[in-house]
Each structure stands twice: as structure tokens, then as C-alpha cells.
Structure 1
């Protein structure tokens, strides 16, 4: 539902706590922590056609959610989001009455024996994000989209660190879609068959946007994604999320992916995961490079960790077949652990190019190829 504001002088609705409370929790994540526009501290409420449309924005990202309510007076107002959300969260599971008029700057909330008044702004001050006709559109099953993004987004950089690494790059070719993320220390790549009508196109989506989409969608939803040069829209069920695309050059990722490998080993995913989790106990949490040593000797895969103030650990995993070469390299243990949380097959294929090369996880499915590259850490052994 696209909000179109009219100059209403009243707003009066009755809604359920079970609908309103989780909706406000989702919306409040969009409210900026700091802003020069006071109205962005608010949540826009628009009551119309027996629905309440709620919207928050930080100008980069805007979220609109529609819930069914009993509308007694149609209207729009912007309510202080933090206090409104926190108050509703702490209310009993009863009917909530909201009323507002332009005679004052307060919205009245009644629930049981409670009455509260919260500061508002005029709805006309709020910057609306309206969906428009766009150049590209695809539809995808929400469950599939969520799974793909979860496998990729772990390699994206934090937004406040490196803006041109802080997202997922998606390239649509004629027969293939590539999804890539990197923070310069690791890289995740997925290749899937292109069964959309989009080709010869690429987009760079902020990681924060994709995280919010994954929080909002349910497995049974059909997700519509549409975009133009600067803006992308995600809609499903009762929400519309609008985001600016990243207008920066994504790094040339293809040049850092090895064409071939000196050695490949297969390791049971669950065993490697639990072994690395045990190794991480012996690495200080505040160490920027929480380093673990991976060593291959014949048919033995050895994982080591040590810290002077804690102790050390060494654990051996027996390989099915001896490796072609011996190898010893050091890696950030968190970066080794993250892909193991999202890999889906029982056996992990792990590739190496000597002690100075990356560790590369690969996984091949029927219509999908996944690669996760982890750069080594320089350390004197």
C-alpha cells in the first residue's frame, strides 16, 4: 500500500496489541540514532480504508508496514517513535485506542486503565517514499532469497568502515546470476541460474538493507524486488522497504579468486565446525586477528590455537585420502567459522595454495555454486 497524504485534521483508530507491538519493533530499527531532521525521530501513522500504514525512514532506508485496524476517523500524524514503541511493547495484550487532532501536538493512547499522550509532528513534514514505475523487477521465493543472502552477507564489511565493501553486489548475465560480498579479508560468491527476465544489469545493495529484508520476510512469502539506477524496493505480504543503492564501484573480485589450487581436502562440516569452536576458546576475544593455524600433513588435518595468557589446543581430523601436498597457514578463526554455519552439505571441500594463499571453501549444488575465500594472516610460526 502506497501512502498518499491528505490534509486530515483527525485520526482515531482501535487496534490490537499483538499487531501493533511487533510492527513498531521492526520499524524502530529504521529510526536514525542522530539526525538533523527532528521528524525522522517519528513514525508516520496513516489510517485509511480500515488499515493503519506505519512508516519510518532515515532517508537512506524507509520501511512501510500495513496492519488491519478499526478506523473511526481517517487521518495522518507522526508520533515520537522511541517512546511510542517502548510504551506499546510494555502494554498488556488488550485493545489500544489511538486518537489525534490538529488542535495540539499530542496523540492520545488508551489501553485498559492507562492513558498516555505522546508528542507528534504534522504528517506533511515527513519525507515519503513512494513506489514508482521502475526499470527492473523480479519475483523470488522468500525462503530461497533468505538462504542465498545469509550465505553471502557474512563477508560484507560494516557500513561505517568501508562503504564500497558494505553490501552485496549482484550481477545479472544472460544465463547466470552472481552474488558477491567482500570486506577485503574474505569473499563470498554464489552463482545460480538466471531464470528472471533481467540481464546485462548489476546492482550494489547495502548489507543493512538486506539484513532488514531477511528479518521481515517469512518463508512462505513471495518477494517482489524492483529497482532503477539509484533506488531498490522490496515488497512482500504487508511491507514495503525502500533503499538507496550503493553508488560506488564494487571491487574487482574476480582477480583474487584462484583459477586452480595446489591441494584440496574434504572434511566433515560438523567436525570442523566444532573443532574450530573449541579452538576459539583459546584465542582472546579482543584480539583483532583471532588466529588459528591450519596444517595438513598427509592424511591428517591439524587445527591449532594458542594464547600466552590462556593456553593452547591442538586437534587432529583424519582425512579420507592423503593430501597432495603438506601445508601450514594461519587464518582468522571467526572467518573460518562463519561459512561453516551456512554451508549445507555434510562434507566441506577446502582448497589451499600454500602457506601464503587463501583458504577457499567450495560447495556445488544442482543449480548453485558457492565459494567462500578467507585470506591468510601473516604470522611467524
Structure 2
């Protein structure tokens, strides 16, 4: 307990802790500012409705002039009359939709949006669009139907409300930044236990030193993450609200390659649990590297290379995803396995997202198994190395 308290005090006094915290929050604040700007212009739905209205008004003028042409045959005139009638009907519907969207009258807006989306889906099927585009059209229709049933206002992806914003940041931004900062912190506190490549703890009668260090590192890492997580959730929530926790968040059934919707509140606990296991694994790996190399700079570089590199590699390299389920680092982006969106919902994907390639093996259940087994194995190695050095044997 004394060791734990000492390290907590050391972390709280460290300038790096506060500088890294401010830096991460500043990066997230930058994205919040972008979202704020986006939310202060017309929403995607409103912009699309206005554009479609302009097109329909142009069609009305065109068909009106064309019908005055005396050279039109009976069949052409009948077709043109039908097109004019449809254009006027669509124009009136769009005007109603625009008014409803401006006034946040979702009870009026949703039925119109659902009808439009059904027409879009029918058109996509008629035009034989690829499966990915069809899946997205079905996704949009299903989301509108759920929102209409729940009578929840539709949110932009770039939302400024706390719940939506923290999930957006969890998809790609927070995990690598926090993991990098935690590695620096853990290397500093673990390396402080060495002097001239000798582990000072071995001079003390501490049978549970390794477990104490592991527990301390895990607690510090996950505590640091939780602090950032709740600040990023809390600060937007104070000014813009939390958002509705029943809101259907887009997720994926990777086996069926179908979009599904999960209420927001069901995403938080599994995501946080995977993050806890992730930081336990990180603490064990950093401690092992410190024990093996006993040099702060070497340990820092190796930890960053293995842990940060390992978590980012499957996001960049498509080939790695075939065995990503066996890499503990794949689950550091904890929200992606929970949503079933690994390889789909992150900003690093650049090669196969348009084909809707899914990776069902990278899921919450496998994440728990891989992280627990990986942590236990690394922790046992830590204990063996600590025990051998206490007996005076050199580890090469």
C-alpha cells in the first residue's frame, strides 16, 4: 500500500502527467470545435432537402414549358403531365420537410424522411447497386424507423453532446493518445525502482513486489484513462447536454454483414471493461520490458513500438487483420469490437471499407479472452524474472 501511495504522489507531482492531460484534452477540444462549427450550419438532412427542392422547382419549370410545345404527341404529353404532377407533389413534400427540420418538428419530419428513404432503397435495388451501398441505404431507413418510434431527434455524427462526442473520440482518437501517455508514465515509475541496472526492490523483503507493481501500474493507467474519458464526456455535457442514452448508435453484425443499432447506454460498460483489461496488459508488458532491459529509454522505445505500433498496425495494414483477433493490442480500440465495427468505423481504414469487409473474430468475447490470457502469461514471466534476480541469477 505504501508503494501504491508513493507512486500516486509521484504521478500527481509529475509535470508530464498534467502536460499530457492538457494536450489530450486540447486535441479533443479541437474536434469539439469542428463539431460545433458543423452543428451551426444546416444539418445534412436539411441541406439535402434544400438541394432536392431546387431540383424539383427546376423540373416544374421545365415540364411546364415543355407542355406548351404544340409538337408534343399525346403519349409524350401524358408522360410529361405525370412528371409535372409528381414534381409538384415532391416539391410540396420537401417544403413541409424543410419547415419541420427548421422547427425540430420530428413528428412531421420522420414520416416524410422514411418515405424518401424507401424510394431511395427501391431505386438502389432497381439500379443493382453493390451490396455495401444497399446495406447503407437499409441502415439509414432502419435508423429513421427506430428514431420515429422512439420520437428521438436525429443527431449528426459530429455531435457536440457529451455521450455522442465521447463515443466519437473513443473510435479513433482517445485510445492511442492515452496509451502513449500511460506508457511514458509507467516507464517512469517502474524504472525508478532500478539503480545502476539493479532492482532496489530485491534488497527488501517484499514477496509480492511484482504483483504490487502490476496492480499499481494497472490502476494508474486505467485511472488516467477514466479521468480523460469522463472529462471529455462531462465538459460538452455541461454546455450542450449529454444526449439521449437510448439513442440507437450504428453498429454492425459482422457475421451477417448487416448494420444494427445499439442503444448508447449499452456501449459504455463493455467498452470500459475492455479498456481496463487493456491497461492491465499494458502494465504487465511495460514492467516486463523494464525488468529485461533496465534502461528507461530502451524500455520506452520498445514499449511504444510494441504497444502503440501493435494497436495501430491492424488499422493501417489490411493483411494484419486476418490474425488481428490474436493480438491483444487490437482490442485497445475497445469501442470497435463492442460495436462490431473493427476495420469499418475508424479513420485509419483506407482500403476495404467500401466493400464492407468485416472481421467478426475481433469481438468483445475474444477481446476478454485474449487480454486475460496475455496478461496472465506476461505477469508470470514478470514473476519468474523477479524471483530469479532475487536469487542473484543474471537475466540475459
TM superposition score normalised by structure 1: 0.26
Q: Indicate the structure with greater helix content.
A: 2
Higher Cα Rg: structure 1 or 2?
2
TM superposition score normalised by structure 2: 0.25
Q: Indicate the structure with greater strand content.
A: 1
Of structures 1 and 2, the one with the larger relative CO (CA 8 A, separation 6+) is 2
